[in-house]
Structure 1
Amino acid sequence: MRNWGEPAFEASLPPETVLNQMEMAVIVCDRFSNVIYRNLFAQELFGFAAEDDFVGHSILSLGIAEEDREQATELARHVLKGGVWEGTFCSQRADGSMVYTRAHAVPLRLPSGSIDGIVIFSREALRSNQRDQDRYGLLERIGERLAGSLELEITLRQMSETLVPQFADHCFIDLFNGERLVRRVSRHAAGWTPPPGTWADVGEQVSYPPDHFCAKAMDRRDAVLVEDVVKHRFSAPTEPSQRLGDDMGVTSVIAAPLLARGELLGVMSLALSNLSRRPDPHYDGFDRDLVGAIASRVALAVDNAMLFEEERETALAFQKNLLPGEQPPRLDGLQIAWRYEPAKPLESHGHGIQTQVGGDWYDVIPLSAGRVGLVIGDVEGRGARAAAVMGQLRAALRAFAQDDKPPADILRKLDEWVRTMTRPDPPRYGDEVRRTPLVSCTYFVYDAWSRTLSFANAGHEPALLIVDGEVSDLEYDSRGAMLGIRAPGMGGDILFNEESCELRPGATLVLYTDGLIDRRPKENGEYYTREESRRMLRDAVAGAARDDVESIARAAYEAVPGDIDDDVAIVVIRTAPEELPVAQRDFPAEPIMVSEARRLAAETFASWDVHDEQSELACLLISEIVTNVVLHTASPSPRPELVLEGVPGGAFDDLEEFADFDDGLWGPGAGLGRREPSVKEFRLRLRRGRDSLWVEVFDSDLRLPRIRSAGETDEGGRGLYLVDQLAARWGARPTTDGKAVWFELPLR
């Protein structure tokens, strides 16, 4: 017989034998989160067969869900620093099924006291009865709704709509704004609203006492359950909120911290009360675990939404600062209205994906002699990079436009520049991927005095033309290729066709980007086709055709119902109904014609009621330019030597000799040779705008003038310097048969 006090066994049981008897998973990891021990129940809990032992592998090999991996990493860091952690994880078993586990982690200490690893105790958080299966379904729905949202307000609203009233009568979400805790959600069952001055409303600051369950949840960084509020009294933030809780019959509450990437974002609290008259208005430990799992997903969704909004706001500010100002410039012969709208979130009809600002842009560029350059375009992609590319494009196009070349030449030059933006992306699978942004745009040049519109298109949507209330597409012979696309077999050269038309008095042009007509949702969840959207756009514009340009821009934006999926740029221009003052005359390129040109200008300015001082200044500058033209047009231009292989002698003395040879081959006027006119002439053109005088002098000389420094004894060389100092702007541009020198003088 065993004496009292003797041990029951001769030898103690090995620890492994004891641990294998536990119906709780025990997992030990080293400092690098690799599993060094697991008991038998861990293998059963996570669904691994004996031959699939995960000892030696990372703790993540247990199938921890993607949304919980960041939390697992933070767990390891916290415990290795000596802390204790408790929370809920979602894992995928080896057979593909999901299991939610409640984990408790403590440091693994050596006899010396140093921390050498982590010990994790885990049990299943979801059981198999119907009530818990309903909770499981709730968690799945929450995950699905959060996965489709990147808009913070939508994320929070969808969250509260899912929880109330199915799981809670009251839902509060408070987020930190700097050091302040601010209420972002206050939702209640049956449409009930707290009276003013009781529970904090949305946008108000919240401050919880230290013993409040929300304060404890944030301090412990774990969900806190108050099963029976009546038995466990706590200090409410204010006395009115305490009284309201008593009056509402709040029975049970759970608070869970919102933790993402190691940062405390705020707290979520749920409460049951007599508001919905539930049979058992109390939460239990399982509900606490569930809310902990929900909170981790909400926190990650909130953090992603906040990061998305920060990036979106940055890109939007970037975009708006790179675009022209809110008010269009005042231009002669044109009324202009423009509108830019960033993409809006498409939360309805199950779409759920939020969009960013894109690369749409527009611009109005003053050119020589009152002419105007107009552009509308769209950079492929979204976000800050698309906005940055857009800004570079706009700056490049403005610089190219100052050359005053035809629209097709400008697009060709812009296309070459876009190709230089090719950059290497980070290597993928050992290969370097190079990408060039794709850009669609149309560039227009409008002359309000002649009413001529010249344009070239690079794969952009055709503009709408309104004449006498009738709406039609502006006719293009070719839409052209987008900028950045290389033509196969053509050495990379893209041809852009230049076209022109005359805009009648009062004609209106509506330019827009494809976000206006692309992917607009219907009420039944489908989308309008592009043809449907275009038809609605034309109808809306036709209905507003007699209104001002601002009204037309608004009608165009509102034409197609539903939120836009891409950003939208709209530009509306209308030609003046009246003719603008202009006068011009051709003169022989002879010195005596300088005074004749000056006399014509003086008489014209007098008929336009231009002040004498401005008229005299304009006539002075006209004299300088015309004198320069007469002198250089009368002198022979330097002729380069042209060398052609296979031609007898291999060279021509000048262009005229080459022209004779060329005409002999192809017929008169068909070749590259250019014949000078027998009598050289120049043309003087005068234009009056609302705020400026414009003067142009045309001649057949191809050489563009430039300012040069004149010595003290030089007789010439000061004319263009004088023009540069006295005119508001001046310049020279090539024409089809020579050049034009122009300047602008303001009308004071």
Structure 2
Amino acid sequence: MSQWSAAEDGARAMAGAPGFDAELPPETVFSQMEMAVIVTDRFSNIISINAFAKKLFGFGGDEFIGQSVLSLGIAEEDHDQAMDLARHVLKGGVWEGTFCNLRDDGTPVYTRAQAVPLRHPSGSIDGVAIFAREALRSNQREQDRYGLLDRIGTRLAASLELDVTLRAVAGTLVPQFADHLFIDLVTGDKLVRRVAAHARDWTPPPGTWAEPGEQVDYPYDDHAAKAIRRRDAVLAESTGPDSAFGVTSMIAAPLVARGEVLGVMSLALSNLGRRPDPHYDEFDRTLVGAIASRVALSIDNALLFEEERQTALAFQRQLLPGERPPDLDGLKIAWRYEPAPPLESHGQGVQTQVGGDWYDVIPLSAGRVGIVIGDVEGRGARAAAVMGQLRAALRAFAQDDKSPADIMRKLDEWTRGMARPDTPRPPVVSCSYFVYDAWSRELTWANAGHHPPLLAVGDIVGDLDFSRSTGAMLGMRHAGLGGDAAFEEETVVLAPGSMLVLYTDGLTEGRPKADGSFFTGEESRGLVRAAVSRASRGDVEGVAHAVFSAVPGEIDDDVALVVIRTAPEELAVRERTFPAEPIMVSEARRLASDTFTAWGLGDDAAETACLLVSEIVTNVVLHATNVPAQKRALVGAPELSFDEDDWDLSGGLGRPEPVKPEFRLRLRRGARALWVEVFDPDLRLPRIRNAGETDEGGRGLYLVDQIAARWGSRPTPNGKAVWFELPLD
């Protein structure tokens, strides 16, 4: 019986007290306790009960051993609460509240229960111990009243979502205290029915009462109208039209919070409930008034929360890309963003706002694409604001064609400036940035503490190898959390038709199972991999849907998801290297002209493209011979003396031949645009200059700037690349 250590420790303490036989087994004390003790495992299955529990819940024997704790007759409306408290206790918390249980003979019993975690000597939580007593030994009516405010308070504290709050009220009051319940809230200047609940799943005849979503207009003398005018609960015996439907007694209570009437809550008894005395009294009217005050406060909080949440969500969605991914050459893209619902609380507070997950797809020079996935630590407006700043900064760095590793270093420094006097610690962010070239199929990336994406080639799914991409999360070293900012860069060539699935940890972490336990990260990732494998032949939208739905249970954190599939076919590209000599300008133009003709470009488009090719190549050739010689020095080398006669100055092993400068012309065609790139060893980046009227040159880049849709230059490992883009439509 070592698993139920909390109950056993109590029994041992009693056994060791004065007056007890020191040899009295703890199990004997446990069985004689005038308190119900139920011990469950981590999956809420009963592993032990004492004799008092059998008496309290009205069953004999051990037939419930191994069954769910719900089998003890917990009322259906309390099932969700029971599972919530199990999850709460399994995380180390303690819970106390009131339950309604149905004995084997059908009679209800209201119990006051406390649940505590059972800890293994190692510190892990093995299960839950529940201690319970009968809430009140009295008649049914008194039991209905007893603990109702407590139960309402517990249910209302569980959520800040309006619909959940209203359903909690209905589930608590019907059928325990009412056979019919209506909650009508003010929307604009109208009362609109939000909830209608009836005992025994009874459905009123059409036209009897307004349905949820319909406007409600009360006659002046209606009890609900009186309650709103008086701002007090009104008790009425049914003698009007409602009596024809079995209604015998009604109470209407206004829902008032912060001096404003939010609506009205109406409860009714009827012959439907088969109660001995289906009538309310003044005690009930006062009780309903108190309940309405709590309900109104909860509704007001839910409305404020919903407004705040919608504002934060709209703010975050404005900071993320639009709903439709861009149409890019060589890639099919789908993405998803799903904010987490408010976290339900059992005395631990409620996280009410969206998080800082983000993603982006950025068109770069020459048809290349930048792809980012990231997650800002924490939730709320600040996390969303940090996300927006980082996304804007990354876009700026990416447009300058910085390498992924350079971008990670710059973003890491960027986070240092985000510390403020009220929050001196800078944010901590996980992020991965990829650059994909659809023509060469090269994928280059750097990582800052984010988990690797999935890579699917056919039906084979695994993690992209991040073994070298082990950079610390952005901001860690500035926040005093350690970490290495030496971000490594890696490159792989993707197979045709392969697929990448990028995601944040909300997809795989904190997902509950049906039994109250939680999926481990590896279990969740296994489910996601299996979903990708099954859906890998479908389109990216189908894959995104399959991935998002792969792990059952409600998400515990925001989820950002990006699915990318590479093209199965090769894209049109042609390139050639030329000596950097003036005569090669015409050769480069001829290559471009032949290529554009083979690609089926119209005469005007081809002529324009050839003109710009000539300007770019001419600029490269003119400056190629002026490349500054790289200075080399032998640091600490001894002084050498030699005669010129010792060296063959005619070109043998003496002085090496000077390296002739070269340039490389690369032409790419996409579905909607044409890209031209010229590579050369000159490290100097070109810029437009204002040429005077008498200047013979200086207008080439100005012409490119005026005609091309976009143009620019970027450093390369061996020099630079100058590029321009021309639309084909």
Q: Which band: TM-score by shorter chain?
A: 0.7 to 0.9
1:664–1:274 Cα change, 3 Å: farther
Whether the 8 Å CA contact 1:350–1:525 is kept in 2: the answer is no
Partner of 2:266: 269
1:397 is aligned to: 394
Q: Say whether residues 1:445 and 2:442 are aligned partners.
A: no
Contact 2:574–2:667 (Cα < 8 Å) also in 1: yes
Please state how far the C-alpha of 1:319 moved relative to its aligned partner: 2.2
Shift of 1:487: 6.2
3-state SS of the aligned residue for 1:251?
strand
1:568-587 alpha-carbon deviations (Å, 9 max, x no partner):
12111111111111111111
1:538 aligns with 2:529: yes
**Conserved 8 A contact 2:472-2:484:** no
Residue 375 of structure 1: aligned partner = 372
How far apart, CA to CA, are the structure 1 residues paired with 2:657 and 2:251? 93
Distance change in 2, residues 1:677/1:153 (3 Å): farther
| Cα deviation, residue 515, structure 1 | 0.9
Instruction: Name the amino acid aligned to 2:280.
Output: Y
Q: 1:579 to 1:455 in 2, by over 3 A?
A: same
Q: Contact 1:356–1:382 at 8 Å: present in 2 too?
A: yes
The answer as to 2:248 corresponding to 1:248 is: no
The answer for the alignment partner of 1:627 in structure 2 is 618
Please tell me whether the aligned partners of residues 497 and 565 of structure 2 are also in contact (alpha carbons under 8 angstroms).
yes
- 1:600 maps onto 2:581 in alignment: no
Cα-to-partner distance string for 1:66-98 (whole Å, 9 max, x where unaligned): xxxxxxxxxxxxxxxxxxxxxxxxxxxxxxxxx
Partner of 1:40: none
Note closer, same or farther for the CA distance 1:511–1:351 as it changes in structure 2 (3 Å cut).
farther
Larger deviation, residues 510-519 vs 129-138: 129-138
1:518 equivalent in structure 2 = 509
One-letter amino acid matched to 1:523: A
What residue number does 1:229 align with? 238
CA deviation after TM superposition for structure 1 residue 308, in Å: 1.2
Mapped to 2, the partners of 1:489 and 1:252 lie a distance apart of 66
Residues 127 and 457 of structure 1: CA distance in aligned 2, closer, same or farther (over 3 Å): closer
Offset of 1:551 from its aligned partner? Answer: 1.3
Q: Is the 8 A contact 1:149 1:352 kept in 2?
A: no
Q: Counterpart in 2 of 1:701?
A: 682
**Does structure 1 residue 684 correspond to structure 2 residue 665?**
yes
Counterpart-to-counterpart distance in 2, 1:439 and 1:261:
40
- Is 1:385 the counterpart of 2:382 in the alignment? yes
Name the structure 2 match of 1:613. 604
C-alpha distance in 2, partners of 1:489/1:210? 67
CA contact (8 A) 1:349 1:523 kept: no
Residue identity opposite 2:631 in structure 1: E
Q: 1:157 to 1:415 in 2, by over 3 A?
A: same
- Provide the secondary structure at the position in 1 that maps to 2:570: coil
Q: Offset of 1:440 from its aligned partner?
A: 1.3
- Residue aligning to 1:419: 416
2:446 matched to 1:456?
yes
* Whole-Å separation in 1 of the counterparts to 2:152 and 2:384: 34
SS at match of 1:628: helix
Name the % identity.
71
TM-aligned CA deviation for residue 320 of structure 1: 2.2
User: Match of 1:184, SS?
Assistant: strand
SS where residue 661 of structure 1 aligns? Answer: coil
Where does residue 153 of structure 1 map in the other structure?
163
Which residue in the other structure is 1:585 paired with? 576
2:277 aligned with 1:280: yes
Matches within 5 A, 1:83-482: 131-132=141-142, 134-226=144-236, 228-230=237-239, 242-243=240-241, 245-344=242-341, 356-425=353-422, 433-476=423-466, 477-482=468-473
The 3-state SS of whatever aligns with 2:146 is helix
Q: 1:368 to 1:359 in 2, by over 3 A?
A: same
- What amino acid maps onto 1:205 in structure 2? Q
Q: Relative to structure 2, which stretch is displaced further, 504-513 or 331-340? A: 331-340
Letter in 2 for 1:618: A
Letter in 1 for 2:666: R
Is 2:548 the counterpart of 1:557? yes
Quick check: 501-510 or 408-417, which moved more? 408-417
d(CA) in 1 for partners of 2:200, 2:602: 76
Kindly indicate whether the alpha-carbon contact (under 8 Å) linking 2:136 and 2:146 is maintained by their aligned counterparts in 1.
Answer: no
- For residues 664 and 519 of structure 1, the distance between their equivalents in structure 2, rounded to whole angstroms, comes to 66
In the alignment, the residues of structure 2 paired with residue 187 and residue 275 of structure 1 have an alpha-carbon distance, to the nearest angstrom, of 13
Q: 1:246 to 1:677 in 2, by over 3 A?
A: farther
Distance 1:370 1:677, change over 3 A: farther
Q: How does 1:2-17 map to 2 (within 5 A)?
A: none
- CA-to-partner distance for each residue in 1:100-122, whole Å, 9 max, x for gaps? xxxxxxxxxxxxxxxxxxxxxxx
Q: What is the number of residues matched between the two proteins?
A: 578
Q: 1:422 to 1:347 in 2, by over 3 A?
A: closer
Contact 1:379 1:440 in 2 (8 A): yes
| Shift, 1:661, TM fit | 3.2
| Cα displacement (A) at 1:346 | 6.9
Larger radius of gyration: 1
Query: 1:736 maps to what in 2?
Result: 717
Structure 2 match to 1:721: 702
In structure 2, relative to structure 1, the CA distance for the partners of 1:725 and 1:664 (3 Å cut) is farther
CA contact (8 A) 1:360 1:568 kept: yes
Q: Distance in 1 between matches of 2:269 and 2:638?
A: 100
Of 496, 518, 524, the residue aligned with 1:527 is 518
Contact 1:380 1:437 in 2 (8 A): yes
Which AA in structure 1 matches 2:308?
A: E
